[in-house]
Amino acid sequence: MKFKIKASILLILMIQCQTNDQGINDLPIEYMMRSGLIKQEEQSENGVELRIGTGREILQNNQEFQINIGQKDILIVTSDKMNWGVPCNSINSVSINTCSTNDEVEYNGAYKSSTFKYQNGKVHLNFHPDIPLNTTVDERIDVKVISAIKDWSLDHWFVLGLSPKSQIGDYFNRIYKSPFRMLLYFKNADPYHFKLESYFKLMPILNPVVEELTMVSTHDMEPDSDYWSVKGSLALTKGDWVIDQTKVCISSVSDNLIFFEDPATKCLIIQKMICGENIGSKCRKEIANMSLAPNITITLDQTTYSIGPYQYIYFKYNVMMCYFGSISKFLAEDCPADSKLGVGKGFLSYYYPVFNFETNGKRTIDFLKKHTVLNQNSNYLIKVLLLVIMAGVILILAQMYIKEIAKRNMLYGDDKEDSIDFK
């Protein structure tokens, strides 16, 4: 009897393993999204590929979106009025890709250095282009449908705003079973500065599996927060350069390690430490004493992050440079207006951020010191391996059970196996 029970339990587990695969509206674990890159003179742009529509319509529109965690809006371009983009405000566009405008009213808008005209609209966005969404037209997300642009700097990309106030979290939490979590895995394409220009590649991961030992800190966003920002400060281990308590802005568009007011002057302070009076173009690699360079300490809430010289210093044409940027161009657009300090892709390439949009409206960000990427193929192989092991265990138990029955039959005979002795 014991063997029967054990075999039944293992059989149930095996069936569950087979039937617990991701459904149509489940976010796959460790889903590695398709990403894109635009290399520009001043900075690189990182994006993801999304499906416009549910994937069940006539036209299959896959589109690159720039990821910007400092923006709340989602910007798409309609091909009905421009020579690129997706059909949207035409009569049949809902059957083509579920995109439609609410009315004919046009508004003026701006993004970075671009200006545009737009209409308010709705559309389905599918983060997994290969799996159609099972949803209704009523569950679409609000977007700004651009009909005319001046000075667009993102090639033929759209914009995906992922700020705490973005509708993406609530939208996906309505459609998918799992809360929306995204890890932005930035990697410096030239960490040793062999090339003259450095840029970052992005590996966006949905529903990441986070090991507790890899987590450095977790930060809750204030209710109704417009930006991903954490109270913090900056200091040098040598010298008197300090940025007191401020809202530290977290940016997915800045290629710099850190950014603040007057970065050139701050870099000169470091040059004087390692090159003496040979500052500016005279601070060259052959005379720079890197052992004199200080560490930079950034405190986020109660957690301290130490940044070493080889993380924030590089040499271009053998001239010492700093991965410092100006905060002025990000204020009030990607960062809080009163912020004095920000961290960009350089920082995020050392401490990987996970952005959490909980179903109760709570927004949190985790920083990880490492992450082991598990792709869908490895998940599939693990499942297959578990199924093979379970099948083997069940087979062994079944054989043991058959042998046990045969043994009892030999000892007691077939007619006594199920008899009950009353005394």
357 and 389 co-located in one domain:
no
88 and 109 co-located in one domain:
yes
75 and 15 co-located in one domain:
no
pLDDT of residue 6: 39
Does residue 277 lie in a domain region? yes
Kindly report which listed range (322-331, 358-367, 378-387, 406-415) carries the lowest average pLDDT score. Answer: 378-387
Residue 19 has pLDDT above 50, yes or no: no
60 and 130 co-located in one domain:
yes
* pLDDT tens-digit readout, 212-268: 888 999 999 998 899 999 999 999 888 778 999 999 999 999 999 999 999 999 999
261 and 364 co-located in one domain:
yes
Does residue 195 lie in a domain region? no
Does residue 13 lie in a domain region? yes
353 and 226 co-located in one domain:
yes
Does residue 286 lie in a domain region? yes
pLDDT of residue 93: 66
Top mean pLDDT of 83-97, 331-345, 386-400, 404-418 is at 331-345
Does residue 217 lie in a domain region? yes
74 and 166 co-located in one domain:
yes
| Domain with 13 in it | 2-19+378-413
Higher pLDDT, 195 or 373: 373
Write the Ramachandran bin of 193: left for phi over 0, alpha for psi from -120 to 50, otherwise beta. Answer: left
Alpha carbon distance 72, 334 (integer Å): 10
Radius of gyration in angstroms for the set of CA atoms belonging to the chain, rounded to a whole number:
28
222 and 361 co-located in one domain:
yes
385 and 281 co-located in one domain:
no
Residue 21 binned pLDDT confidence (cut-offs 50, 70, 90): very low
What is the average pLDDT across 357-371?
92
Residue 14 binned pLDDT confidence (cut-offs 50, 70, 90): very low
* pLDDT tens-digit readout, 380-402: 455 556 667 777 778 887 777 77
Q: How distant, in Å, are the alpha carbons of 161, 173, 183, 251, 421 from that of 257?
A: 21, 32, 18, 10, 81
Does residue 32 lie in a domain region? no
Domain boundary among 126, 159, 177: 177
Number of domains comprising the chain: 3
* pLDDT tens-digit readout, 286-340: 999 999 999 999 999 999 999 999 999 988 889 999 999 999 989 978 999 999 9
Compute the mean pLDDT over every residue in the chain, rounded to the nearest whole number: 83
Residue 125 binned pLDDT confidence (cut-offs 50, 70, 90): very high
Label residues 95-118 b or e (16+ Cβ within 10 Å = b).
Answer: ebbbbbbeeeeeeeeebbebebbb
pLDDT of residue 132: 83
Q: Give the pTM.
A: 0.80
153 and 215 co-located in one domain:
no
Give the CATH number for residue 125: 2.40.70.10
Does residue 251 lie in a domain region? yes
Q: Which amino acid is at 328?
A: S
356 and 235 co-located in one domain:
yes
Alpha carbon distance 182, 360 (integer Å): 17
Does residue 203 lie in a domain region? no
164 and 241 co-located in one domain:
no
What is the average pLDDT across 137-166?
93
